[in-house]
Amino acid sequence: MPRVVRARKEGRYWKARLCFGLLHVSASGRILSTMGIVDRIKEIEEEMARTQKNKATEHHLGALKARLAKLRSELLLETGSKGPGGAGSGFEVARSGDGRVALIGFPSVGKSSLLNTLTDTESQAAAYEFTTLTCIPGNIIYNDTKIQLLDLPGIIEGAAHGKGRGKEVIAVARSSDLVLMVLDGGKEQVNNHRAILERELETVGLRLNKKPPNIYFRKKKDGGVKFNSTVPLTQLGPDPALTVGRILYEYKIHNCEMLLREDVSTDQVIDVIEGNRKYVRCLYAYNKIDTITIEDVDRLAREPDAIVISVRHKLNLERLLERMWDYMGLIRVYTKRRGAPPEFREPLVMSSERRGVNVEVACENISRELSEIFNYALVWGRSTKYDPQRCGLQHTLEDEDVVQVVGKTVTQQKREKGYSKKVQEHWDALKAKKKKAALRS
Ligand SMILES: Nc1nc2c(ncn2[C@@H]2O[C@H](COP(=O)(O)OP(=O)(O)OP(=O)(O)O)[C@@H](O)[C@H]2O)c(=O)[nH]1
Ligand SMILES: [K+]
Ligand SMILES: [Mg+2]
């Protein structure tokens, strides 16, 4: 910094910025303002810090936040070329199994050691920082389910803006079903580290352990801004319409419909407008509890979404797997044919995060044509009152349910007009087969 200051004094400011790599120059010599965005972000952050937070300033703060969010998206697009989580943004590891868990954390907190303990894969673990330099996948079989665990390089403050391999690491976090944030429980500032990592992930649009806000939003061609709410709004200042209007103005959105169905904050309104937020579950694993007192272990265990472990002494790892499974929101459904036992070795594994899993989703998972010939399903398990229960496509399934699909009879199908060609072919083939068998006998 002092060198920059000196350079500025000597009137060589721009040159200094160039040689410090703060400016990017295109082939034609045009100055691209990558750093300009970072500067502008800083400026807005400073202005926000200066602005007193009270009811009268809510709309102004909302506008500043919108400007900030816009700049951050711009920055991501500019430097990440493909945007957050886009293909080609670094570690190309094929998705496999029923769910994906990313190990995120500072260097040397024990991510690789954990992968080595939970899977058959070997990832180098050592006492120096940045031992791991790329993404290393391993497999865990738990509850008949294959979970892909990804070891990643450590990240540090500033990762979101490209420090180290932060961007690539965060892109992997975005693509996963669960973030397992590994923290060094032996460090005094462990919760400070937690806050830093949370902030890094939040800046690039990840939302940890949060639900998408219940807001209906649609851009339109004309008609102006139609703003409404079904609940009292307490977080948008004295005039919510004004606050939201200011935010929309920042995005140059002059025609849209917005209906707030819950008491949301300005940040949540911005999230919905930006539209590229990723809502992902996060479990915080405080590792190395072998190095601290039992009182400290107890304190850490009470943090929200926390679990305390020691990889070195294999403490609490069984419980960790259990919690991971819960957080991933997966459910297993066993299918069954008439007169045969359920296929207990091969469940259908589906994510119930977004919406509940119903019979229709299960059918889609088995085969495309199944829902076309679907008549009803017989279901055994937690979701039913009697075993078996006759259920329709909308029946919500629970973990470990058994499902037997009963198809429509040929006559039933014939009675229904307009069924697909595929189904017709299927039944024709079946009929031909039956005829052949009858002829043979
Ligand atoms: N005391 C103690 N040490 C541990 C534990 N788990 C891991 N370690 C040690 O912590 C150090 C770092 O472990 P790694 O697994 O390489 O950590 P990492 O997070 O993968 O580190 P990077 O790849 O550099 O980001 C090693 O010396 C491990 O032996 C634990 O539960 N207790
Ligand atoms: K290490
Ligand atoms: Mg490592």
Residue 22 scores a pLDDT above 60: no
pLDDT of residue 103: 97
Q: How far is the CA of 173 from the centre of ligand 2 (A)?
A: 19
Task: Point out the ligand 1 atom lying closest to the alpha carbon of residue 131.
Answer: 24
CB neighbours of residue 327 within 10 Å: 22
Atom of ligand 1 nearest to the CA of 116: 15
Angle of helix 58-80 versus helix 166-174 axis, rounded to 10:
110
Q: Which residue has a Cα nearest atom 23 of ligand 1? A: 132
How far apart CA 356 and CA 394 sit, in angstroms, is: 10
In this structure, which ligand is nearest to the CA of 110?
1
Q: Clarify whether residues 321 and 338 are in a common domain.
A: no
Q: Which residues have CB under 8 Å from 373's CB, separation 6+? A: 407, 408, 413, 423, 426
Distance of alpha carbon 218 from alpha carbon 237, whole angstroms: 23
Ligand 1 proximity of 113 Cβ (cutoff 6 Å): yes
**Residue 187: per-residue pLDDT:** 95
Strands 348-351 and 330-335: antiparallel
Ligand 1 atom closest to 113 (CA):
15
Q: How many domains is the chain built from? A: 3
Q: What is the CATH number of the domain that holds 156?
A: 3.40.50.300
Same domain, 63 and 175: no
Q: Do 189 and 314 lie in a common domain?
A: yes
Q: 298 and 316, same structural domain?
A: yes
CB 65 within 8 A of CB 51: no
CA 243–ligand 2 middle distance (angstroms): 47
Residue 394 has pLDDT above 60, yes or no: yes
pTM higher than 0.90: no
> The CATH number of the domain where 381 resides is what?
3.10.20.30
Ligand 1 center from residue 110 Cα (angstroms): 3
Q: How far is the centre of ligand 2, averaged over its atoms, from the C-alpha of 105 (Å)?
A: 11
Residue 32 · residue 49 · CB < 8 Å? no
The alpha carbon of 432 is separated from its chain's Cα centroid by a whole number of angstroms, namely 49
Lowest mean pLDDT among 12-26, 31-45, 179-193, 307-321: 12-26
320: amino acid identity, one letter: L
Structure tokens, 397: 């399934």
Domain of 51 in residue numbering reads as 14-75
Give dist(CA 216, CA 218) in Å, integer: 7
In a domain, 220, yes or no: no
| Shared domain check, 199 and 66 | no
What pLDDT was estimated at residue 25?
45
Asked if 282 and 148 sit in the same domain, the reply is yes
Three-state DSSP class for 190? Answer: helix
Vertex 162 angle, CA 249 and 270, to 5°:
20
Quick one: tokens of 138? Answer: 């391993």
* Model confidence at 132: pLDDT above 60: yes
Q: Which numbered atom of ligand 1 lies nearest the CA of 114?
A: 15
Q: Which ligand is nearest to the CA of 311?
A: 1
Indicate the average pLDDT of the chain. Answer: 86
243 lines ligand 1 (CB under 6 A): no
In the reported structure, the alpha carbon of residue 137 is separated from the centroid of ligand 2 by a whole-number distance in angstroms of: 17
Closest ligand 1 atom, residue 130 Cα: 24
pLDDT value of position 344: 87
Q: Percentage of residues in the chain with pLDDT exceeding 70? A: 87
Any domain includes 263? no
165 touches ligand 1 (CB under 6 Å): no
CA 296 to ligand 2 centroid distance, Å:
23
- Residue ending a domain, choose from 328, 345, 366: 328
Burial of 162 (C-beta count, 10 Å sphere; 0-12/13-18/19+): middle
Which pair of structure tokens corresponds to residue 271? Answer: 């999230």
286 CA distance to ligand 1 centroid (A)? 12
pLDDT range class, residue 26, cuts 50, 70, 90: very low
pLDDT band at residue 161 using 50, 70 and 90 as cut-offs: confident
244-252: average pLDDT: 95
Cis check: omega of the bond before 388, within 30 degrees of 0 = yes
**347 and 372 within one domain:** yes
> Which ligand 1 atom is at minimum distance from the Cα of 109?
19
Q: Looking at the structure, do residues 186 and 291 belong to the same domain, yes or no?
A: yes
Q: Does residue 438 lie in a domain region? A: no
Q: Say which range, 20-24, 282-286, 317-321, 358-362, has the weakest mean pLDDT.
A: 20-24
Provide the pLDDT for residue 87. 42
Q: Are residues 182 and 196 in the same domain?
A: yes
Whether the Cβ atoms of residue 375 and residue 408 lie closer than 8 Å to each other: yes
Residues, Cβ < 5 Å to ion ligand 2: 108, 131
Residue nearest to ligand 1 atom 1, measured at CA: 288
**Does residue 136 form part of some domain?**
yes
123 pocket-lining for ligand 1 (C-beta < 6 Å): no
Is residue 271 domain-resident? no
Q: Give dist(CA 213, CA 272) in Å, integer.
A: 7
Q: Is the CB of 131 under 6 A from ligand 1?
A: yes
Q: Cα of 110 to ligand 2 centre, how many Å?
A: 7
State the distance from the centre of ligand 3 to the C-alpha of 169, rounded, in angstroms.
12
The pLDDT of 392-411, averaged and rounded, is 90
Long-range residue pairs from 36-43, CB within 8 A, at least 24 positions apart, any chain:
37/71, 37/74, 37/75, 37/78, 38/75, 38/161, 40/71, 41/68, 41/71, 41/72, 41/75
Which residue out of 91, 103, 104, 108 has the highest number of ligand 1 atoms within 8 Å of its CB and is therefore the one to mutate? Answer: 108
For residues 318 and 335, state if they share a domain: no
Residue 116 beta carbon below 6 angstroms from any ligand 1 atom: no
54-76 pLDDT, tens digit each: 878 888 999 999 999 998 888 77
Residue where a domain terminates, one of 313, 328, 343: 328
4 falls within a domain? no
The mean pLDDT value for 421-441 works out to: 87
Residue 127 forms part of a structural domain:
yes
- Can you tell me which atom of ligand 1 is nearest the CA of 127? 27
Do 299 and 349 lie in one domain? The reply is: no
Query: Does 390 fall in a domain?
Result: yes
Q: How far is the CA of 268 from the centre of ligand 3 (A)?
A: 34
| Model confidence pLDDT, tens digit, residues 252-262 | 999 999 999 99
Mean pLDDT across the stretch 275-284?
94
- Are 64 and 167 within one domain? no
